[in-house]
Structure 1
Amino acid sequence: MPIKPKNILAVDDEPKILEVVTSYMESRGFTVFSAPNGKTALEIFDCENIALVLLDLMLPDISGEEVCAKIRKQSRVPVIMLTAKIEEESLLKGLGLGADDYIRKPFSLKELGARVDVTLRRASDDLVPLVTKNSFRSGDLVVDFEKNIIKKRGLEVLLTPSELKIFSALIKYPQKVFTRAELIKIALGDEFEGYDRAIDNHVKNLRQKIEDDSKNPDYVLTVHGLGYKFEGG
């Protein structure tokens, strides 16, 4: 099963920059959603399955720093800042809020493409969850990746390595829909030559361990025709 092109959210109040960036990234196989301000950017982010955000810091309504902070509260989706600011303090503030990289304006499209590729590759290899410890549904499910402990209603749950990798990826990107092909790459590696439906068995076993009713799951949900996502609630 081929992996679908990744969705990019480009945010900038300069129409020409949005037009050029959109055209270039689409020519490289990406689907691009564009936003001229922070409010629209957050609305798109909430509705679409975004894989990376190109974010201008100087927006007319909500600052880029604030947009980045709001995104970081719910997702580890990579954020690359586009900035005309040259002050070190401004750049450090953006990185401190969770941005993954920055590009100073004016920039070349070749540099932009290279930064996007590197950032996406680094993100796909990094299975660090959004937070190292979290509790869902008033303590029904407790996840501590730092200690590698998962508890369901106070009892420790033992996951296989593949199940843990799948679970880590799903929690890392809450609400992100992973295709079976993406989860196979994460859990089983590029060398896996079996059927993509093999991932369904891992998800089935995972659900039996963390769900009250594995046939009506609350956490690991099926998105019909696409794949799976994590719903913390």
Structure 2
Amino acid sequence: MQSILIIEDEKDIAELERDYLEISGFPSDIAATGEEGLKLAAANSYSLILLDLMLPGIDGFDLCEKLREMLDVPILMVTARKEDIDKIRGFGRGADDYIVKPFNPNELVARVKAHITRYARLTKQDKKPNEIHHKNLTIDQASRRVFIDNEERIFTAKEYDLLYFLASHPNIVFTKEHLFEQIWGYDAMGDNTTVTVHIRKIREKIEADASLPQFIETVWGVGYRFQG
């Protein structure tokens, strides 16, 4: 059964979320603090986590990062803060979506259902072995197509080759020289700035905010790494 963890210190809001979710068929647990939320997340299997940003103790952004290190389930941030920078920070820490208080409970339930359905589809057991799935990114080697949230992004041949190479070797740092030789070849015309330009174009297509990349990380003075 698909269950939800609600991490929210405002009792009325937490109970409202729980009531609407349980009416919709999602049993839900409530944690009033970040510490309690971490314990419940570690001890149980949840299909999605609703996370308030303004919590006592552990900051909501830090808590999101800790949860993401532990779990690979959707995290939906719920907060009264409306600033875009907060949304960007949340996505950068591993959140999958963001809803602002006051919210329509029916919209909240709809978003929960959508994320659980998408997560189940992306992680189903019969997925093709020649596909790479990471967060909301899908790379299909057979068709050489790239998707973000199931929406196709159009890539040039070299952009695709570079992204696929990095994603196929997660958490490994490659120098610009190595990437240029690997993708363009030893005898190709051009230089290492070609790699930088292509990385920028790739980020513009797959990142929610290209200035705060969550997929391809710049390792200053060395090169690039796909964060797997």
Q: TM-score range by the shorter chain?
A: 0.5 to 0.7
CA contact (8 A) 2:42 2:70 kept: no
For 2:10 and 2:57, the matched residues in 1 are separated by 13
Aligned pair partner of 2:66 in 65, 70, 85: 70
Count of residues in Structure 1 that have an aligned counterpart in Structure 2: 133
Which position in structure 1 is the counterpart of 2:109? 113
1:52 aligns with 2:48: yes
Sequence identity of aligned pairs in percent? 37
The one-letter code matched in structure 1 to 2:53 is L
After the TM superposition, list the runs of 4 or more consecutive aligned residues in structure 1 that deviate by more than 6 angstroms: none
What secondary structure, in the 3-state scheme, does the structure 2 residue paired with 1:73 have?
Answer: helix
CA positional deviation for 1:113 = 0.8
Deviations 1:131-182 (A, max 9, x none): x9xxxxxxxxxxx99449xxxxxxxxxxxxxxxxxxxxxxxxxxxxxxxxxx
The one-letter code matched in structure 2 to 1:63 is D
Which position in structure 1 is the counterpart of 2:77? 81
For 1:54 and 1:107, the matched residues in 2 are separated by 13
For 2:70 and 2:7, the matched residues in 1 are separated by 18
CA contact (8 A) 2:5 2:48 kept: yes
Which position in structure 2 is the counterpart of 1:38? 34
CA positional deviation for 1:66 = 1.0
Which position in structure 2 is the counterpart of 1:100? 96
Which position in structure 1 is the counterpart of 2:203? none
CA positional deviation for 1:74 = 2.2
1:7 aligns with 2:34: no
For 1:54 and 1:79, the matched residues in 2 are separated by 6
For 1:129 and 1:86, the matched residues in 2 are separated by 27
Which position in structure 2 is the counterpart of 1:192? none
Aligned pair partner of 2:18 in 18, 22, 36: 22
Deviations 1:74-129 (A, max 9, x none): 22110000011011111100011110001000001110011101111111122325
For structure 1, the 5+ residue unaligned runs are 133-143, 149-233
What secondary structure, in the 3-state scheme, does the structure 1 residue paired with 2:99 have?
Answer: strand
Q: Over aligned residue pairs, what C-alpha RMSD do you find?
A: 2.3
TM-score (norm: length of structure 2):
0.55
Deviations 1:187-222 (A, max 9, x none): xxxxxxxxxxxxxxxxxxxxxxxxxxxxxxxxxxxx
For 1:49 and 1:38, the matched residues in 2 are separated by 17
What secondary structure, in the 3-state scheme, does the structure 1 residue paired with 2:70 have?
Answer: coil
1:186-201 paired onto structure 2 within 5 Å = none
1:143-158 paired onto structure 2 within 5 Å = 146-147=167-168
Aligned pair partner of 2:86 in 90, 101, 125: 90
1:164-179 paired onto structure 2 within 5 Å = none
TM-score (norm: length of structure 1):
0.53
CA contact (8 A) 2:7 2:50 kept: yes
For 1:45 and 1:7, the matched residues in 2 are separated by 11
